[in-house]
Amino acid sequence: MVSKNQIKLISSLHQKKYRLVNQLFFAEGTKVIQELLDSKLELQHLYTTQNDFQSVSLSNRTQISDADLKKISALTTPNSCLAVFKMPEEQTIEQKGIVVALDDIRDPGNLGTILRLCDWFGIEQVVCSVGTVDLYNPKVVQATMGSITRVKVVYTDLEKWIGNSKLPVFGTFMDGESVYETNLPAEGIIVMGNEANGISEGIEAKVSQRIAIPRFGNLQKTESLNVATATAIVLSEFKRKTSV
């Protein structure tokens, strides 16, 4: 049984302000929950419609009905389980390796996909502008497919943070140099911009190297790539060139 108060608490966690107040967030689905359980994150409570997750003690685990799961789920078609976790302490970013900097990424699916890409390419640090969608938004947690536990993410005044960094700063622009031809280093900041507006002016001024993904289609028409697919191509090029 899940109490009315628990339903109320979890429903509130769909909103960022209540996630912050309670320092809690939730994840859904066996795969993602198992990855979070295997990480350093602390479980607050697990709700499941099955008799699974037996390694979780009964004091932390409640079997619930499909109807109750539907009440607390953020998914149109809920999975069989939902788990509430405590937010970890805020992390810090070190000035080394490749750091991905996100300038107001608004779509939760894009942020989640970018974190999954960073995980794949062994990039451990992501810095987000304060206008970037919240890491603990349920759709972001879902789209990361567990990568959220392996990539450090901080939110900060991105312009100031980049200004204080000594790493070279790469940004993608239509008029940049082909990323296929550019010499890419093993250390640097890669800025990816907002879905509609690209990289903001203040941050553009701090970019030391303008790169571009060459376009082969109809030059009059095809306007842009989705930011997650653009990130995929740029990270692939950085890794291809620096891992030999």
- Judged by the rule CB under 8 A, the positions of this chain that interact with a second copy are 35, 109, 113, 116-123, 145-147, 150, 180, 213-218, 221-226, 228-233, 236-237, 239-240, 243
Amino acid identity at 144:
T
Shortest Cβ 12–a second copy spacing (Å) = 21
Residue among 4 and 217 whose Cβ is closer to a second copy: 217
Nearest to 149 by CA among 41, 45, 24, 53: 41
Shortest Cβ 214–a second copy spacing (Å) = 7
Nearest-angstrom CA–CA distance, 92 and 152? 8
Nearest to 200 by CA among 135, 105, 133: 105
Torsion sign, CA atoms 77, 79, 83, 87: negative
Residue among 48 and 144 whose Cβ is closer to a second copy: 144
Residue among 46 and 151 whose Cβ is closer to a second copy: 151
Residue among 123 and 128 whose Cβ is closer to a second copy: 123
Shortest Cβ 114–a second copy spacing (Å) = 9
Nearest-angstrom CA–CA distance, 211 and 180? 9
Shortest Cβ 117–a second copy spacing (Å) = 6
